[in-house]
Structure 1
Amino acid sequence: MDVLLNFSFIELCFVALVFIWTGFVRSGLGFGGGALGLPLMLFIYDQPLFWLPVIGFHLLFFSSLTLRSRISKVDWLYLKKAILIIIPFVLVGVLGLIKLPTNWLLVFIYSITLLYAILWVSGLNIRSNNKWVDRFLLCIGGYVAGTSLTGAPLIVAVFLRHVSAAFLRNTLFVLWFSIVMIKMTAFIVVGIDLNLITALTLIPVATIGHIIGLKAHDKIIQNDALFKRLVGAVLILISSLGLYNI
C-alpha cells in the first residue's frame, strides 16, 4: 500500500484499468491474467516482485470464487498427471525469480510476452501432437509460470489436447491455484512482502473485470482468433517499448 500511496492520480487510474483488464482476461479466457497484465503493470512500476504477489493473491481469490460451484467440472485425472511434470519446474522457476536481477526478469517477461504476441498476431498457435512435445511444453511452461506467471499459453497448448472444452477453464483454475500457492509460500519463506493491503485494495477493481469476463466468456471463445490478434498487436507495442527502455 505504501508504494501505491506514492503513485500519482494518473498512475492510480492506470493501475485500476490494468486490474480490470486482468480480471476480465482471467475469467473470460480461464488463463492469461498474468501474461497479459504483468507487462502493463511493469510500465507503471518496474518491480516484478511487487506485482507478482498481488497477481497471485487475486488469482487465489477469484479462482476460489469461480470453482466454488464448478469443482465437479474439473478433469482431475489429467490434472494429476500434468501437475507431477509441471511442479518441479515451477520450483526451479520460483528460485530464478527470487535470485535473478530485476533487469534480467524484465527482459525475460517482456521477451516471453513479445513471443506470444507475435504468434497471436500471425494467427499461429503453439500446438502439441505427441506425448514428448506435451512434456516439453509442460516443463517450459512450468518454469516460465514459476518465474513470472506468464507460462499459461504453453501449458494451455497441452491441456487443449487432453481436456474437453467444458472442463478446460475450471481445470486450469485448479492448476493456477496450485502453482500460485507454491509461489506465495516461497515468497513467505524468503521474506518477500506479499503486499496484501495493496492486493485487498485492488480486489473491488479487479472484481469489475472478473464479472465482465464471466459474462463474456462464451463470446470470447467464439471469437478467440480475433481477440488474440487485437491483444497481440497491443502487446507487441508494449513489450517492444519495455525492452527498449531496459
Structure 2
Amino acid sequence: MNDLQVWQYVAIGALFIWSGFVRSGLGFGGAVLTLPFLLLVHNDPLVFLPIIAVHLLVFSSLIAYGSHKKNKRVVSEEPISTIDWDYLKHSLKIMIIPKLIGVFGLLTLPTALMSSIIFVIVMVYAIGYVLNRPFKSNSRVLDNMFLMLGGYISGTSLIGAPLIVAVYAGHVAKHQLRDTLFVLWFILVVIKCAAFAWAGVDFQWIHHLWLLPCAALGHLIGQRFHERMVSAETPLFFRVLGSALIIVSLIGLWKALS
C-alpha cells in the first residue's frame, strides 16, 4: 500500500474514520460496512483485513476497560455492568469449535452460497426490528445453529458478525449489547490475527501510524452517537439496528451474487 496516489490515501483515511464511527456507534459493522468501499479504492482485502482486525482489538480493549471502571460504581448496592458475561460465555461455548474449523479451513463450502444464506437470514431478523416486531425463534436449537454458522463464517472471513448480532439482540439487554459484542469480537479477532500471523500475512504496521488516529476520531464520534441512541426509546434503537443490518445484508448479497 506504499505506491498509491494521494486521492487513494485520502479516501482510505476517510473510510477508516467511517469504520471507527460504525464500530463504536453500533458495536458491529466496522468491517462489513467499510471493506466493500475500501476495495473500490485498492482491490486487495488482505491489505485491509489485518489493519481492521488490529483496530478492533485496540478499541474493544478500551471498551472493556471502560466497562470495568463503570462496574466499580455502586448504585443501590448493585454493580453496574455494560457486559452480559453470562450470555457471552454461553455463546462462546457454542461458537468456538465452528470458529476454529473456519479459521483452519477444515470445512470448505462455496463462499457465495454461505454468504447468501447468512444475509438472507439476517434480513429476516432486520425487517422485524425495523417494524418493531423483532423475530424471536423461541428455540434454543435454532439460535445455537445461527451462532454456530456465524462462528464458522467469522473464522473464514469477517462477515459473520451480522448473524451473531441478530441472535445477540434477542438475548442481551440493549444497554449491554454493544459492549458485550466488543468483548466477543476481541476474542474472535485474536484467533483470526493468530491465523494471519501463522500464514505470514503483512499486518501493514507502518500504516497504523496514520490510520489508527483516523479510526480513533470515528470512534469518539460513534461513542456520542451510541450514548444518544441508547438513551432514546427502545423502538428507535432497534430500528437503527435493523436498518444497519439491512444495509449490511444488501451489500453482502450484492457482493456474493456478483
Give the share of equivalent positions with the same residue, in percent: 39
CA 1:76/1:235 → structure 2, altered by over 3 Å: closer, same or farther?
closer
Partner of 1:186: 195
What is the CA-CA distance between 1:147 and the residue it aligns to?
2.0
Partner of 2:77: none
Retained in 2: the 8 A contact 1:53–1:194? Answer: yes
1:156-195 superposed Cα distances (whole Å, 9 cap, x missing partner) = 2222222222222111111100000001111112222222
Q: Which of 22, 26, 42 is the equivalent residue of 2:23?
A: 26
Q: Per the alignment, in what secondary structure is the counterpart of residue 174 of structure 1?
A: helix
Q: TM-score, normalised by structure 1?
A: 0.81
Q: Per the alignment, in what secondary structure is the counterpart of residue 33 of structure 1?
A: coil
Structure 1 or 2: more helix by fraction: 1
* Deviates most, 167-176 or 42-51: 42-51
Count of matched residue positions in the alignment of Structure 1 and Structure 2: 236
What is the CA-CA distance between 1:121 and the residue it aligns to?
7.3
CA 1:114/1:38 → structure 2, altered by over 3 Å: closer, same or farther?
farther
Partner of 1:41: 38
Q: Which of 8, 25, 46 is the equivalent residue of 2:5?
A: 8
CA 1:187/1:88 → structure 2, altered by over 3 Å: closer, same or farther?
same
Give unpaired runs (5+ residues) of structure 2.
72-80
CA 1:39/1:116 → structure 2, altered by over 3 Å: closer, same or farther?
farther
What is the CA-CA distance between 1:113 and the residue it aligns to?
8.7
Q: Per the alignment, in what secondary structure is the counterpart of residue 8 of structure 2?
A: helix
* Deviates most, 63-72 or 209-218: 63-72
What is the CA-CA distance between 1:108 and the residue it aligns to?
7.2
Question: In the aligned structure 1, how far is the partner of 2:34 from the partner of 2:201?
Answer: 21
What is the CA-CA distance between 1:21 and the residue it aligns to?
1.0
Matches within 5 A, 1:50-199: 50-71=47-68, 72=71, 73=81, 74-96=83-105, 115=120, 120=126, 123=130, 127-199=136-208
* Deviates most, 144-153 or 107-116: 107-116
Q: Per the alignment, in what secondary structure is the counterpart of residue 34 of structure 1?
A: coil
Q: Per the alignment, in what secondary structure is the counterpart of residue 46 of structure 1?
A: coil
1:125-177 superposed Cα distances (whole Å, 9 cap, x missing partner) = 66542101110110111112122222112112222222222222111111100
Q: Per the alignment, in what secondary structure is the counterpart of residue 102 of structure 2?
A: helix
Retained in 1: the 8 A contact 2:16–2:215? Answer: yes
CA 1:229/1:140 → structure 2, altered by over 3 Å: closer, same or farther?
same
1:163 partner letter: V
Question: In the aligned structure 1, how far is the partner of 2:175 from the partner of 2:49?
Answer: 29
Retained in 2: the 8 A contact 1:23–1:207? Answer: yes
Q: TM-score, normalised by structure 2?
A: 0.77
Q: Per the alignment, in what secondary structure is the counterpart of residue 61 of structure 1?
A: helix
RMSD value, Cα: 3.1
CA 1:44/1:238 → structure 2, altered by over 3 Å: closer, same or farther?
farther
CA 1:83/1:234 → structure 2, altered by over 3 Å: closer, same or farther?
closer
Retained in 2: the 8 A contact 1:160–1:168? Answer: yes
